[in-house]
Structure 1
Amino acid sequence: MGWLWHALAISGSMTWQILWALILGFTLSAVVQAVVRRGSVGRALGGDSPAALAAATGLGVASSSCSYASVALARSLFRKGASFTAAMTFEIASTNLVIELGIILALLMGWRFTLAEFIGGPIMIVLLAVLFRIFLRRRMVEDALAHANRGVAGSMEGHAAMDMSVTGEGSFWRRLTSARGFTAVSHIFVMEWAAIWRDIAAGLLITGALAAWVPADFWQRFFLTGHPLWAAVWGPLVGPVVAVLSFVCSIGNVPLAAVLWNGGISFGGVVSFIFADLIILPILNIYRKYYGWKMAGFIAATFYVTMVLAGYAIELLFALLHLTPGQRNASVSEAQISWNYTTWLNLAFLAVATVLLIRFFASGGAPMLRTMGGDADRLASRSG
């Protein structure tokens, strides 16, 4: 059974690496939904101007979420008044322009990959804004917002206390630290986890299986390593496809990116692969639940195009600057749990999650979960 334990060990290691980021992302999502005023979000992120997209990028970098939590938080911003373009910009920044991702890339793959990520991210944001300006129609946005709001309202049927938006007077911190604000955050936090935890678990298990079971020579043939020119063309095209099929997410996809780099994928292909954590199959399903089929398809198509183009841009730019790594010696190993910053962060945020869970059950949240039958898919479809 060693083959099975190997895959499970990798999955467990990835879970441990991203656990604190997951909790942080869903906590921020709950805070936004519970106490951030719609007008405040609308003023900062209400359009698709350079200033609004820059604000969305900065907020995303500060949020530092995993892809699942980022999607939930972007939905929250959209419902609070952010433009759809700004919400999607936030998603890209919060998953691909964050400090911990850069650190892990540097440790496993080298500083050039970190630099490529932080250059490629803004390129992708600019390209996405252009595509949205050309192809995104007002009616599509209106339908997506109506779908999200209708779903959220549906999830609160029969439970009046679940109308948790704290919109009264007072400062942000006063609303957040009030008894009602605390309860609101706890209820929304638990609902978000209940809706998506199966998608997260499936993604981590599949990633571990691919990393453990697919031999290196398969990747070398698949990425055309014997034909350098075609490999440079093929890599950015197929990198997102591999990500979509492997269910990788956020920081957890860096170890698999290291496997693919050692296996022969092009430099630009690695970049497009890492960006594609926002269009993996479980997240595409979440887009469908949040915004409807039509907008989910639009997101998938436009994100894919911008990921590929950003990969090509990085491939060309780094080749011209002679910055493309010459060696394929990324560090690939099963991380062991030790007393490092990840462990301390996990313990700290597990404590936060425990406090929110206690508040949730103490404030009468259990009947809501029983009403929904513990069915995460049904809960997710109801809650948007």
Structure 2
Amino acid sequence: MLSTIGDGFRQAFLMAYEVWWALVLGFAISAVVQASVPRARIQASLGGSGAGPIVRATALGAASSSCSYAAIAIARSLFARGASAAAALAFQFASTNLVWELGLVLWILIGWQFALAEYVGGVVLIALMTVLLRLFVSPRLEDVARRHAQAAESGDRHHHGGGRGGAWADVASYFRADWAMLWKEITIGFLLAGFIGLLGNDVFNSLFVSDAPAPLPLLENVLVGPLIAVLSFVCSIGNVPLAAVLWSGGISFAGVIAFIFADLVVLPIVVAYRKYYGWPFTARITALML
């Protein structure tokens, strides 16, 4: 029993060690945005839901960190400073699905087809989310969520001593504030992934139907893939090795892609959305992403 517990903590530590740089980079970018980029500039560049702001947010996300926790922190900063909900979420999707290192790891471990599907699917998801936000998220709800994000940002900065000591002191203050808001969710995510990873490949592979008449296996794989992602998630790129295991164990191509795309609706991140935006907006965007 003690040995199993020790193995779980060891797995969690190793996963954290592999992706710590992405977390640090993401929180650093978020802190710089909050400390140095004027609200007017962000609002002018990313303030609308037209093609221009969405394309710019997508390009910015694709050049950013591949860690989902870091991506949502940066997106919150952009949203609080004037980016539209559509642009902020476009940044999130691009940061977790269109970054070059994720495609490279997919190509190496599973094949170029998965890398291509990741990139094409990421663009499709951004387009769909933009349309769905226009249909199901009212300007009033978006404004309430923005005020919630701004209040959380201001409160955390005040609590951590922001506003004194110059620009770099402000960056450090925002960095500490982002970490203080998310460290519990990040820790829980790593621990869950570490202990669930001990279950072994056979447990995961037994979840997938392979001998039922078509199209039941495909539908079951697409539903179960995201469920496994919810249980085993650390960061976007950290899911790729498990995706390779699932592929070798018999899950369909669509099931693997569904598993990889589920990184922004796992429980620790949904809790982070609630802290950032409040429950009404969180419930709406989570339902749309599902």
TM-score, normalised to structure 2, is: 0.92
Q: Closer, same or farther in 2 for the Cα pair 1:146/1:57, shift >3 Å?
A: same
Instruction: Write the deviation string for residues 76-114 of structure 1: whole angstroms up to 9, x where unpaired.
Output: 001111001100010010111111111222222222211
Q: Map 1:40-51 onto structure 2 (within 5 A).
A: 40-51=41-52
Preserved contact between residue 249 and residue 278 of structure 1 (Cα < 8 Å): no
Task: Please name the residue that 1:225 is paired with.
Answer: 210
Q: 2:92: which partner in 1?
A: 91
Deviations 1:303-340 (A, max 9, x none): 11xxxxxxxxxxxxxxxxxxxxxxxxxxxxxxxxxxxx
Name the % identity: 45
Asked if structure 2 preserves the Cα contact closer than 8 Å seen for 1:279 and 1:303, the reply is yes
- 1:293 is aligned to 2:270: no
Q: Is the counterpart of residue 15 in structure 1 residue 1 in structure 2?
A: no
Aligned length: 288
Q: How far apart, in 1, do the equivalents of 2:208 and 2:142 lie?
A: 38
Cα gap change, 1:112/1:158 in structure 2, threshold over 3 Å: closer, same or farther? closer
1:235-254 Cα offsets, whole Å, 9 max, x none, are 22232222223343221111
Give SS of 2:32's match.
Answer: helix
Mapped to 1, the partners of 2:108 and 2:186 lie a distance apart of: 24
For structure 1, which runs of at least 5 residues remain unmatched after alignment? 165-178, 305-384
- Partner-residue secondary structure (3-state), 2:63: helix
Mapped to 1, the partners of 2:124 and 2:131 lie a distance apart of: 11
Distance in 2 between residues matched to 1:75 and 1:32, nearest whole Å: 10
Aligned to 1:266: 252
Give secondary structure in 1 for the equivalent of 2:166: helix
**Structure ranking higher on relative contact order (CA contacts 8 Å, 6+ apart):** 1
The question of 1:284 aligning with 2:270 is answered yes
Displacement of 1:156 in angstroms is 4.4
Q: Give the TM-score normalised by structure 1.
A: 0.71
Match for residue 198 of structure 2?
212
Q: Distance between the aligned counterparts of 1:215 and 1:239, measured in 2?
A: 14
Q: Cα distance 1:225–1:211, how it changes in 2: closer, same or farther (>3 A)?
A: farther
CA distance in 1, matches of 2:28, 2:92: 16
1:80 equivalent to 2:81? Answer yes
1:100 corresponds to: 101
Q: Which amino acid aligns with 1:224?
A: V
Match of 1:250 in 2: 236
1:236 counterpart residue number:
222
Alpha-carbon distance between aligned partners in 2 of 1:262 and 1:9, rounded to the nearest angstrom: 25
| Structure with greater Cα Rg | 1
- Deviation of the 1:292 alpha carbon: 0.7
Does 2:72 align with 1:71? yes
Give the conservation status (yes or no) of the 8 Å contact 1:247–1:282.
no
Q: Structure 2: which amino acid aligns with 1:34?
A: A
In structure 2, C-alpha distance between the alignment counterparts of 1:222 and 1:158, rounded to whole Å: 46
User: CA–CA distance in 2 between the matches of 1:156 and 1:55?
Assistant: 27
Q: Residue by residue, what CA displacement relative to the aligned partner does 1:158-200 show, whole Å, maximum 9, x if unpaired?
A: 77x5247xxxxxxxxxxxxxx6111111111122112212211
Q: How far is the alpha carbon of 1:5 from its aligned partner?
A: 4.5
CA distance in structure 1 between the partners assigned to 2:157 and 2:6 by the alignment: 41
**For 1:123-151, what per-residue CA distance to the aligned partner results, in whole angstroms no more than 9, with x for missing partners?**
11111111111111111101101111222
Distance 2:96 2:197 in 1: 21
Paired with 1:119 and 1:268, the residues of 2 have a C-alpha distance of 13
Letter in structure 2 aligned against 1:41: I
Note the aligned Cα RMSD (angstroms): 1.9
Task: Confirm whether residue 184 of structure 1 aligns to residue 170 of structure 2.
Answer: yes
